[in-house]
């Protein structure tokens, strides 16, 4: 931006007008950008924080992330370049030392790499053992309503309460499983809550708890802050990220809800240690989906790295499209087929994970992507299900918003495309047994 305004490149601007003039221009432009009412991503040069006014505005107006790179790496990157302040190694190192305290002064988060940056921007923490640090990780100093369900509360509830200490204002249980997402369950929770605006609701559990408790947080007192602490693989790689909250109606799942981005999302992969194998497989289908979208074999990674990589991918897509008006649609890869199969089975007998595995298979086949098809077969081994074909087809037609489907012509490059109904029908039929 500065080069554009000055009509000159930075080395020649420095040479002609000196550093002071450059800093003046930089300060002006930075303050203007920070005054913008619309949210922006601002990538600042290392010297921008030399201005006290910029530091003050950063603290007031921005969520500031310090990408902390060690001095040797920094020097290796800039030495030999035409950067005006990187001509002399000793001076460069001194500048690095001088500026560190200023970075610390403005930083809301300190990260090491681009993935860390995405997570920090989304407010997502992925770290084994983070449950024990809940009191520090739940923003603000106010009271906390801890919401869980009997199974998870029995296993991890005491640790969560211990970690939150004196901040706990109440512990509440929703029913286990999809029952948590019934209006009556949420209504009972609303009645029980004793927190006020400015306090925080912490949701400890799988996707059912985080969806329902998140919805309660979005609506209670017209909205209180909330922090999901997902305890299933589905929750850690998918449901607790992106700010979608929902409950179910008779007519269908997730029909009432709100976008309510969490104040923070605390993901502790160690909590998966107590998750039954069948629940893990449910999550694996979402991991495979994310890996295919991202173009990286995330399903092969160990737990913590796998969860982190999936959280990064979903966070990035949702930050770019928080209200699901565009790009976020790619996260539906395979899901239109999955929903159709689940609906045709009456949500009984086919799990969501099995249905997603089959849906991914159909999407890979329709995209002519043999690699993706092999991945799905190897990692998830989906088997055709016995449901009524006409019911499945009717459900798919209802679900297919605007007639478009997410395809994956190349792994890592999803596309939204129109597909002829006969082709969709053929792909669906191939997933059904008998």
Question: Which residue ranges make up the site for ligand NAD (CB under 6 A)?
Answer: 149, 151-152, 155, 176-178, 181, 205-209, 211, 231-232, 234-235, 238-239, 242, 244, 253-254, 271, 274-275, 279, 282
In the complex, least distance from residue 132 CB atom to ligand NAD, rounded to whole angstroms: 15
Contacts of 48 (CB under 8 A, 6+ apart): 26, 27, 30, 54
Which residue matches tokens 């297919």? 400
Nearer to ligand NAD, 26 or 211 (CB): 211
Nearer to ligand NAD, 34 or 234 (CB): 234
In the complex, least distance from residue 253 CB atom to ligand NAD, rounded to whole angstroms: 6
Strands 244-249 and 252-259: antiparallel
In the complex, least distance from residue 79 CB atom to ligand NAD, rounded to whole angstroms: 46
Task: Give the tokens for residue 308.
Answer: 């982190």
H helices within 36-131, ranges in order? 52-61, 71-78, 89-106, 114-122
In the complex, least distance from residue 335 CB atom to ligand NAD, rounded to whole angstroms: 9
Nearer to ligand NAD, 116 or 205 (CB): 205
| Rounded-to-integer distance, Cα 352 and Cα 339, Å | 8
| Rounded-to-integer distance, Cα 98 and Cα 118, Å | 27
Phi then psi for 333, rounded to 5 degrees? -45, 120
Nearer to ligand NAD, 64 or 315 (CB): 315
In the complex, least distance from residue 385 CB atom to ligand NAD, rounded to whole angstroms: 18
Nearer to ligand NAD, 200 or 232 (CB): 232
In the complex, least distance from residue 176 CB atom to ligand NAD, rounded to whole angstroms: 5
| Rounded-to-integer distance, Cα 331 and Cα 408, Å | 11
Nearer to ligand NAD, 102 or 123 (CB): 123
- Give the SS3 label for residue 226: strand
User: Is residue 282 within 8 Å of residue 232, measured between CB atoms?
Assistant: yes
In the complex, least distance from residue 314 CB atom to ligand NAD, rounded to whole angstroms: 9
In the complex, least distance from residue 239 CB atom to ligand NAD, rounded to whole angstroms: 4
Nearer to ligand NAD, 86 or 292 (CB): 292
Nearer to ligand NAD, 58 or 203 (CB): 203
Nearer to ligand NAD, 66 or 299 (CB): 299
In the complex, least distance from residue 229 CB atom to ligand NAD, rounded to whole angstroms: 10
In the complex, least distance from residue 404 CB atom to ligand NAD, rounded to whole angstroms: 20
Nearer to ligand NAD, 143 or 254 (CB): 254
| Rounded-to-integer distance, Cα 175 and Cα 150, Å | 7
């Amino acid at each position: 931006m500065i080069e554009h305004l000055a009509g000159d490149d930075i080395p020649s601007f420095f040479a002609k007008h000196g550093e002071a003039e450059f800093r003046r221009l930089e300060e002006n432009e930075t303050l203007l950008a920070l005054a913008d009412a619309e949210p922006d991503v601002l990538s600042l040069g290392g010297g921008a924080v030399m201005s006290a006014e910029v530091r003050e505005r950063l603290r007031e107006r921005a969520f500031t992330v310090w990408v902390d790179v060690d001095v040797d790496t920094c020097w290796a990157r800039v030495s030999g370049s035409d950067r005006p302040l990187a001509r002399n190694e000793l001076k460069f190192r001194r500048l690095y030392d001088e500026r560190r305290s200023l970075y610390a002064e403005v930083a809301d988060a300190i990260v090491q790499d681009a993935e860390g940056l995405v997570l920090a921007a989304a407010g997502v923490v992925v770290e084994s053992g983070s449950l024990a640090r809940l009191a520090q990780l739940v923003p603000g100093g106010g009271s906390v309503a801890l919401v869980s369900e009997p199974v998870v509360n029995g296993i991890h509830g005491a640790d969560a309460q211990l970690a939150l200490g004196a901040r706990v204002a109440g512990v509440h249980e929703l029913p286990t499983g999809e029952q948590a997402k019934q209006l009556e369950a949420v209504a009972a929770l609303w009645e029980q809550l004793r927190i006020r605006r400015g306090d925080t609701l912490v949701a400890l559990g799988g996707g059912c708890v985080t969806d329902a408790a998140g919805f309660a947080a979005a609506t209670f007192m017209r909205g209180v802050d909330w922090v999901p602490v997902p305890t299933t693989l589905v929750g850690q790689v998918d449901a607790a990220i992106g700010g979608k909250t929902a409950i179910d109606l008779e007519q269908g799942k997730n029909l009432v809800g709100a976008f309510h981005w969490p104040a923070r999302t605390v993901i502790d992969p160690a909590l998966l240690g107590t998750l039954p194998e069948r629940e893990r497989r449910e999550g694996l289908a979402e991991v495979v989906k994310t890996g295919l979208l991202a173009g990286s074999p995330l399903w092969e990674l160990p737990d913590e790295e796998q969860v982190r990589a999936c959280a990064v991918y979903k966070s990035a897509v949702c930050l770019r499209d928080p209200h699901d008006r565009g790009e976020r649609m790619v996260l539906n890869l395979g899901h239109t087929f999955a929903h159709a199969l689940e609906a045709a089975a009456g949500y009984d007998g086919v799990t969501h994970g099995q249905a997603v595995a089959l849906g991914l298979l159909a999407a890979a086949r329709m995209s002519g992507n043999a690699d993706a098809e092999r991945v799905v077969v190897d990692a998830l081994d989906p088997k055709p299900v016995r449901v009524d074909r006409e019911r499945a087809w009717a459900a798919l037609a209802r679900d297919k918003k605007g007639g478009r489907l997410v395809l994956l012509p190349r792994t890592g490059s999803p596309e939204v495309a129109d597909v002829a109904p006969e082709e969709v029908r053929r792909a669906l039929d191939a997933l059904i047994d008998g």
